[in-house]
Amino acid sequence: MTGWRLLLTRPLDDSAALAVFLAEQGIFSSCLPLLEIEPIPDSATMREVIQGLDRYCAVIVVSKPAARIGMGLVERYGPQSPGLKWFSVGAATAQVLQEHGLDVSFPERGDDSEALLGLAPLREAIARPGARVLILRGEGGRELLAERLREQGASVEYLEVYRRGLPQYAEDALPERIEAERLNGLVVSSGQGFEHLRQLAGNAWPELARLPLFVPSPRVAEMALAAGAQTVVDCRGASATALLAALRETRPAF
């Protein structure tokens, strides 16, 4: 395990927390955040959706930023519907919602769309006639989740509450960091995170594509393989424990 020297690319606070967790396991990591969360300003549409939450049979929250910002909207524009069913893609997102007093259902194994779709409480919620589901998310992402829900007869709407930007770095910041700290593995937490990794890599991408790349889902794995990544490890989730399990099953190349 101590052979790994990882590049972490999550937003700053999440990367810092993950680095601490990995250090406790004897794993070196270096943080270079490739996602910067920018809340979308409140709008009349946001206010209307939040005030009408009782129209939905389920609200699905797909990320910690969506949970944090969404709960701020609920606090400003509530009240909450006591019988509303809340769901999250993973345990970390669920924890944010639970801190606000919500009862949240989430998959205990695998924090991805496929695992969430297999949850019995979600299947029961969308089985009723005229089922409407609200997905709280950032701009774009999780299209598979909505497609599958619609295939099962549910009406799906989005409330997008943040954007993901790429922080400003010098042109060669990524390859220079990898070389200077002798990093031998890359970690991304989303499809957009991977897109930003490629963008920042620039002309160095063919070389960096040889490094093992740890991704959170089959969808992101497909993106990475199509872009030329040579060794892609699907962690089946973006949590620290999912990454740790994948690291234990994968040997560093050098």
pLDDT at 183: 97
pLDDT at 111: 67
The whole-angstrom distance between residue 73's C-alpha and the CA centroid of its chain comes to 20
Distance CA 83, CA 206 (A): 51
pLDDT at 89: 86
CB 54 within 8 A of CB 81: yes
Distance CA 81, CA 112 (A): 26
pLDDT at 109: 75
Residue written as tokens 């990882």? 6
Which residues of the chain does CATH 3.40.50.10090 include? 5-35+170-248, 38-163
CB 189 within 8 A of CB 238: yes
Q: What is the mean pLDDT of each run of 10 residues along the chain (254 residues)?
A: 88 92 96 94 95 94 93 87 86 91 86 82 92 92 84 94 93 95 95 94 96 92 96 90 92 76
pLDDT at 190: 87
What is the token pair recorded at 94? 């669920």
Sheet holding 5-8, edge to edge: 28-31, 5-8, 185-187, 213-215, 232-234
- The domain 5-35+170-248: what is its CATH number? 3.40.50.10090
- The domain 38-163: what is its CATH number? 3.40.50.10090
Among the listed residues 77, 82, 133, 72, the one whose alpha carbon sits nearest the alpha carbon of residue 103: 82
